Structure 1
Amino acid sequence: MSSFNPELTRSQIFSQIPHVPMEGAHWTAQGVPDPIDADDDMSMGMLSSTASLRSSILRALEENGRKYHGYKDGKYVLPIDEQELERQESQYYLCLETFEKKLYFAPADRAHRVLDAGCGIDLLGGQNHWATCCILADVSQIFAILAEQHPHSEVIGVDLSPIQPTFMPPNAIFQIDDLEEDWNFSFKFDYIHTLMMAGAFRDWPRFLGQCHEFLERGGYVEVQDIDFPLRCDDGTMRPDSAVRRWSDLMMEAGERSGFKLDECGRVADMMRAAGFVDVVRVPFCWPVNRWPRDQRLKQLGLWAEENFAEGCEAMSMALFTRFMGWTKEEVVDFSARVRADLSDTSIHAYFPIYVTYGRKP
């Protein structure tokens, strides 16, 4: 807590992590890696164990003026256009500061093979986040130490769409797949990580069950996520307010679609049911604006307000039009009212954020 600087901008937060350039395998516009050195047994082995990226999976679904995953017929309900990717980048910085720059909480310092489930966008100047960051906990020295001491770590990033950087380290492989289907990896992992995947899985118990199956003994799974609905402890979020109605409608749309948004709060119990032990849950929160007196929470609230103001329409569009019978125009108009409430500091609302991890015995 003592290192928090309320004057820090989002870009300055991430600039505190030294960026050590790493030469990596080149990925073409089609998402297929260029040929690599045939003598590099590790790289060849990794490539042979993952699915090839074909041009057909680059298909995007255009709907209500937004672009969605074409893979699996637009199964994921968030857009993947430039506007949304910029919001996700902002959200990542918010997560980074919320967790005081800790990239993970499980004791996974010695993980050799890592799965980043829903690895998403590139945030490190052309390098995959977990390929460069997942092994070591000391954020200030991650890049240099990884390059020196962990040149043979294997990192698999899985997402529904090829939105990865042009360049990635040679120990990183990106695979397009649906992790709600049966996993077909030919190996097991030491650590599995997810960040902000609420609304991505219809069956969290099954996902965690497959995590358990594909972890080595002693391996960890970690879920870092938001938990709906919005909370308010002092009655300042009126039942008829737009932001309260938005939260309730998101919950209803999540139920109708199967993408329940209140699963994060139950992940600890799901992990135990899947067979994990030593389960730990670390709570955080995102105020919806600058209402807290605490300076750290006030700054987090400012960034959360910006993020949700930019994203409430994107979060709502597919859910409300596909499952609630709304029109695009209704979503746009309603989102404007929600944004007005988000900036109202008399509304003392917040989202719980939980980091939950467990070990496979």
Structure 2
Amino acid sequence: MNRAPNDEEQLEALDLIHHWLTLMLDDKLFLPPIGDNPQKILDIGTGTGIWAINVADEYPSASVIATDITPTQPSFVPPNVEFQIDDAQLEWTFEPESFDFIHIRYLQGTIGDWDRLYGQMYKALKPGGWFQHIEPDLQMLSQNPEIKVDDEQYASLPIRFSTVLTNTSIFTRWAKIFTQVGETIGCTFDFSNGKLATLAKDAGFVSVTPQTHKVPIGRWPRDKKKKELGTFVGLSFSQALDGFVKLPLCEILKWSPEEMQLFAAEMRKVLMNPKTQAFGHVFSVYGQKPERPKESSPAAE
């Protein structure tokens, strides 16, 4: 499933997401210790290709293959990058045990069988090779306890509706809506409760290292670095919002365009209000395919 349209606005938003994810990782493209001389790197769901291009520049020793279901990548790229049109849900055709590092991020709502994908990733990695996977949490929150982020359009409803509607923040509605979308299409958006680490361990990876990264949304933090991070998170979310919600809400949940636009406008309004002090979480995990056991020398007779 291709959730969002690949127009210029959406593609620019993907590049903004890449920028703030790099900031989130302390100006790193990834976290696992892949070494200084990787030979082959795979980027699944590459989008605009910006991560693949950057990692190819950083590791000229590596041949970088980047795949996506749509051809939205630039024409002028480093000579060690190859873009391929491919669906990661189908059987992978890469040679087994051929990659030193496999990178996946932001494929929420697009994969029907994550266990199968992790199994294919395990098969494609060399013994001792690493992977990294990053996905956002659905549930956004407010750091300001004095601010209520309830849906304003329900504020004037009769009291009998209060427990159903006015106690439900727009952030909670967002999470519930996309949980429902995921259940409807069979492609989850929900990676909470350690799901990434569970996928990795079930596939056979070792040295599995999950992390939860808190990210501000908007310019409200006082800390300079957090303010920069929050600014780009807010920009990317605001720019991608309409395109991101249109297909799930209108085509899958059958909302009217007016309902979708109202929801998106209110979500944007609440998020961009600095008094909300909105933040979210991003889940990351990396792990290693076990090294091949060293052959023991035959015992002396």
For normalisation by structure 2, the TM-score amounts to 0.82
Residues paired across the two proteins, number: 269
User: What does 1:250-329 correspond to in 2, within 5 Å?
Assistant: 250-263=178-191, 265-329=194-258
Give identity over the alignment, percent: 30
Using the TM superposition, give the Cα deviation of residue 112 of structure 1 relative to its aligned residue in structure 2, in angstroms.
Answer: 0.9
CA distance in 2, matches of 1:108, 1:310: 34
1:342 pairs, out of 271, 274, 278, with 271
Decide whether the 8 Å contact of 1:243 with 1:341 is kept in 2. no
Matched, 1:170 2:98: no
CA distance in 2, matches of 1:157, 1:326: 35
**Stretches of structure 1 lacking an aligned partner (at least 5 in a row):** 1-74, 136-145
The SS at the match of 2:275 is: coil
The SS at the match of 2:263 is: helix
User: Deviation digits for residues 153-172 of structure 1, max 9, x if unmatched?
Assistant: 22111111111111233322
Decide whether the 8 Å contact of 1:243 with 1:342 is kept in 2. no
Match of 1:91 in 2: 17
Question: Does 90-99 or 229-238 show the bigger shift?
Answer: 229-238
Decide whether the 8 Å contact of 1:128 with 1:165 is kept in 2. no
Change (3 A) 1:296 1:171: closer
Decide whether the 8 Å contact of 2:95 with 2:124 is kept in 1. no
Match of 2:293 in 1: none
User: What does 1:1-361 correspond to in 2, within 5 Å?
Assistant: 75-109=1-35, 110-123=37-50, 128-133=53-58, 135=59, 146=60, 150=61, 153-187=62-96, 188-232=98-142, 235=145, 236=147, 237-238=149-150, 239-263=167-191, 265-361=194-290
Decide whether the 8 Å contact of 2:20 with 2:229 is kept in 1. yes
Decide whether the 8 Å contact of 2:41 with 2:64 is kept in 1. yes
Using the TM superposition, give the Cα deviation of residue 129 of structure 1 relative to its aligned residue in structure 2, in angstroms.
Answer: 3.2
The root-mean-square deviation of aligned C-alpha atoms, in Å, is 2.2
For normalisation by structure 1, the TM-score amounts to 0.69
Match of 1:62 in 2: none
CA distance in 1, matches of 2:202, 2:143: 31
Change (3 A) 1:354 1:190: same
Using the TM superposition, give the Cα deviation of residue 233 of structure 1 relative to its aligned residue in structure 2, in angstroms.
Answer: 6.2
In our comparison, the structure showing a higher alpha carbon Rg is 2
Change (3 A) 1:215 1:270: same
CA distance in 2, matches of 1:261, 1:321: 17
Using the TM superposition, give the Cα deviation of residue 347 of structure 1 relative to its aligned residue in structure 2, in angstroms.
Answer: 2.4
Decide whether the 8 Å contact of 1:242 with 1:338 is kept in 2. yes
